[in-house]
A and B are shown apart, each in its own frame.
Chain A
Amino acid sequence: MSPVVLVGTKKGLFLVRGDDARTSWEVEGPQLTGWQVFHAVRDPRDGTLHAAANNWVYGATAQRSTDGGQTWDRSEGLGLPEDSELKLTEAWHVEPGHASEPDTLFLGGAPGVLFRTDDGGTTWEVNRALLEHPTRERWQPGAGGLCCHSIQIDPNDAKRMAIAISAAGMFVSEDGGESWEPRNTGVAADFMPDDKYPEVGQCVHKLLLHPARPERFWQQNHCGVYRSDDRGETWERLDKNGLPSDFGFGLALDPSDPDAAWVVPEEGAENRVTPDGQLGVYRTRDGGGSWQRLENGLPKPAWAAVLREGMAYDDRSIAVGTQSGSVFVTSDGGESWIEAASQLPPVLSVELA
């Protein structure tokens, strides 16, 4: 099947289709016009497209399409229970569930909430344990709100899950979401006035597990890049090893190499653009021991910004979407990049499908 980059933008969803060689790309769309598509994904189990779509006026929605995006159905009754005294403000990320649960998906949203569907996205139920987590009063919203943006399911065990919320941190469940335990030991929260290493309150920007070695996690944080080899029990900070800054959002992995990762550093929290006037993607192949800047085919001068959902990977390629409306793709590990799309609305998310 030909590759597609699902590009969620501030003005709808675009499908950027590539040829088999992944050297030529064409833009289709937009779909869901008028909606800010924070994230869209193709469920590998049945091919359904799912989107977390938001609108200034009409709120947060979860949408799905079974015809490749020609038509979309909005989920029913998405919202938070009255006793929570919270309202759903944004839908952030849709994650297909474990292979053994074909009708199950998860939806992350703000304020720091997780939903589950067991009917393929028709109806969603909020995760009570996270909604009522005893540490919630210590969570603080970042610029993107209190968003649950990363949802990772252990491919070897459907009940083992990890999520990340900005700025609450990483939480792990061993029981399918019945309970959640913070996993932020050793992760900095430099923006806190006193305790720089609290139990919760870390500003994780993106959290990924390695699919072939699911006890290994990577995270790009507000305060550094980290790797954990014990499901978040302990974290090693990696951004002192050649990255130009500790700040960035996106993160990509190589499914065949647990020691490889790609990030796009930005100058810092106070100036969120790529440093040195160019877009550079940084790669490690030694578990974060060293980082190499990759720039062949990337624009210069450029003051680019890549959001937390702005990087994606599959077994052949990595895609990077910028807020200046470009999508770059590499199929050789980052040695060379192709601008697959340009002049799109600000890119909020990419996924390879």
Chain B
Amino acid sequence: MAVVVVPSLVAAQAGGQKRFEVEAGTVGEALRGLPVSDLLFDERGELRPLVNVYVDGVDARQSHGLDTKLGPTTEVRVVAAIAGG
């Protein structure tokens, strides 16, 4: 079962849960199934531009993005881009 790890700020919006075990075929399916998916995707279902996703340590953009396949032990890590003020 794949695992999704989200940043603390997002975890706080899910009752403090930081790790989610998910049954999903792709990165996109895994993220869209989270109770905080609306923070990661906008109202068009597009990944917000400052949300980065790493699959087993590799930027998903360097693979197949949200279509990247998940294996049984894959770790998907959501990382906020360096931004703010």
Interface residues of chain A, those whose CB is within 8 Å of chain B, are 10, 33-35, 55-59, 61, 74, 76-80, 82, 87-88
Interface residues of chain B, those whose CB is within 8 Å of chain A, are 8-10, 12-13, 38-40, 42-44, 48, 50-51, 80-81, 83-85
Whole-angstrom distance between the alpha carbons of A76 and B39 in the complex?
11
Partner of A56, one of B12, B44, B83: B83
**CB pair B83 A58 closer than 8 Å:** no
**CB pair B13 A74 closer than 8 Å:** yes
Partner of A57, one of B13, B44, B48, B85: B48
Known A-B contacts: A55-B9, A57-B51. Give 9 more (CB < 8 A): A33-B9, A56-B84, A57-B83, A58-B80, A59-B48, A74-B38, A78-B43, A88-B42, A88-B43
A-B contact pairs, 9 of them (CB 8 A): A33-B9, A57-B48, A59-B39, A74-B13, A76-B38, A77-B38, A82-B43, A87-B44, A88-B43
Q: Return A18 CB to nearest CB of chain B, in Å.
A: 28
Partner of B42, one of A33, A59, A74: A59
Number of residue pairs A-B, CB distance < 8 angstroms: 51
Whole-angstrom distance between the alpha carbons of A77 and B38 in the complex?
7
Q: Return B67 CB to nearest CB of chain A, in Å.
A: 22
**CB pair A57 B50 closer than 8 Å:** yes
**CB pair B40 A58 closer than 8 Å:** yes
Whole-angstrom distance between the alpha carbons of A33 and B84 in the complex?
14
**CB pair B12 A33 closer than 8 Å:** yes
**CB pair A79 B83 closer than 8 Å:** no
Q: Whose C-beta in chain B lies nearest to the C-beta of A79?
A: B43
With most chain B CB atoms within 10 A of its CB, the pick from A59, A74, A76, A78 is A59
A35 contacts which chain B residues (CB < 8 A)? Answer: 9
Q: Return A115 CB to nearest CB of chain B, in Å.
A: 12
**CB pair A34 B38 closer than 8 Å:** no
Q: Return A123 CB to nearest CB of chain B, in Å.
A: 12
Whole-angstrom distance between the alpha carbons of A35 and B84 in the complex?
11
A79 contacts which chain B residues (CB < 8 A)? Answer: 38, 42-43
A78 contacts which chain B residues (CB < 8 A)? Answer: 38, 43
Q: Whose C-beta in chain A lies nearest to the C-beta of B41?
A: A59
A80 contacts which chain B residues (CB < 8 A)? Answer: 43
Whole-angstrom distance between the alpha carbons of A80 and B42 in the complex?
10
**CB pair B44 A82 closer than 8 Å:** yes
Whole-angstrom distance between the alpha carbons of A58 and B39 in the complex?
5
Q: Whose C-beta in chain B lies nearest to the C-beta of A86?
A: B43
A76 contacts which chain B residues (CB < 8 A)? Answer: 38
B13 contacts which chain A residues (CB < 8 A)? Answer: 74
B10 contacts which chain A residues (CB < 8 A)? Answer: 58
Q: Return B13 CB to nearest CB of chain A, in Å.
A: 6
Q: Return A156 CB to nearest CB of chain B, in Å.
A: 36
**CB pair B44 A58 closer than 8 Å:** no
Q: Return A50 CB to nearest CB of chain B, in Å.
A: 16
Partner of A58, one of B9, B43, B85: B9
With most chain B CB atoms within 10 A of its CB, the pick from A33, A55, A80 is A55
**CB pair A57 B42 closer than 8 Å:** no
Whole-angstrom distance between the alpha carbons of A56 and B7 in the complex?
14
A58 contacts which chain B residues (CB < 8 A)? Answer: 9-10, 39-40, 48, 51, 80
Partner of B9, one of A34, A77, A87, A88: A34
Q: Return A342 CB to nearest CB of chain B, in Å.
A: 21
**CB pair A57 B43 closer than 8 Å:** no
Q: Whose C-beta in chain A lies nearest to the C-beta of B79?
A: A57
Whole-angstrom distance between the alpha carbons of A59 and B8 in the complex?
16
The 5 lowest CB-CB distance pairs between A and B, nearest first, are: A79-B43, A58-B39, A34-B9, A57-B50, A57-B80
Whole-angstrom distance between the alpha carbons of A55 and B85 in the complex?
10
A33 contacts which chain B residues (CB < 8 A)? Answer: 9, 12
Q: Return A31 CB to nearest CB of chain B, in Å.
A: 10
Whole-angstrom distance between the alpha carbons of A37 and B9 in the complex?
14
Q: Whose C-beta in chain B lies nearest to the C-beta of A55?
A: B9
Whole-angstrom distance between the alpha carbons of A77 and B42 in the complex?
9
Q: Whose C-beta in chain A lies nearest to the C-beta of B51?
A: A57
